[in-house]
Amino acid sequence: MIVAGIDIGSRATKAVLLNKASVLSSVICDTGPESVKTSEAAMQVLLRGTGVSLKEVKYTVATGYGRVLVPFANENVSEISCHARGVNHCFPSVRTILDMGGQDCKAIRCDDQGRVVNFIMNDKCAGGTGRFLEIIAEVLDVPLSSIGEAALESKSDIPFNTICAVFAKSEAISYLRKGAAKGDILAGLHEAIATRSVNLLKRVSIEKDFSISGGIAKNKGMVQKLREKVGLEPLLAEDPQLMGALGAALFARERGQSRNGDGLKIQYGYADATGNYFITVDRARCDGCGKCVSVCPSSVFDIAQENGDQPKAMVREEARNRLSLLCPGFSSCAKSLKTNCHSVCQGNAISHTWDSS
Ligand code: SF4
Ligand code: SF4
Residue 318, φ and ψ in degrees, nearest 5: -65, -20
Q: Report whether residue 323 contacts ligand 2, using a CB cutoff of 6 Å.
A: no
Q: Report whether residue 349 contacts ligand 1, using a CB cutoff of 6 Å.
A: yes
- Which residue has the least CA distance to atom 6 on ligand 1? 292
Q: How wide is the angle at C-alpha 287 spanned by C-alphas 284 and 291, nearest 5°? A: 125
> In this predicted structure, what is the pLDDT of residue 265?
73
Separation between Cα atoms, residue 330 and residue 333, nearest integer Å: 5
Which ligand does the CA of 344 lie closest to? Answer: 1
Q: How wide is the angle at C-alpha 319 spanned by C-alphas 327 and 8, nearest 5°? A: 105
For the chain, list the domains and their CATH numbers: 2-83+244-258 (3.30.420.40), 92-236 (3.30.420.40), 285-350 (no CATH)
Separation between Cα atoms, residue 240 and residue 201, nearest integer Å: 18
Q: Report whether residue 296 contacts ligand 2, using a CB cutoff of 6 Å.
A: yes
State pLDDT tens for residues 311-354: 899 999 888 878 878 887 766 777 777 788 988 888 888 888 76
DSSP character for 265? E
**H helices then E strands: how many in the chain?**
13, 14
How far is Cα of residue 174 from the mean position of the Cα atoms in its chain? 35
Q: Report whether residue 268 contacts ligand 2, using a CB cutoff of 6 Å.
A: no
Q: How far is the CA of 341 from the centre of ligand 2 (A)?
A: 6
Of 32-41, 109-118, 150-159, 300-309, the range with the lowest mean pLDDT is 300-309
Q: Are 39 and 69 in contact (CB under 8 A)?
A: yes
Q: Report whether residue 344 contacts ligand 1, using a CB cutoff of 6 Å.
A: yes
- Which residue has the least CA distance to atom 2 on ligand 2? 333
State pLDDT tens for residues 183-229: 998 898 898 889 889 999 999 989 999 999 999 999 999 999 999 99
Q: Is 301's pLDDT higher than 80?
A: yes
Task: State pTM to two decimals.
Answer: 0.71
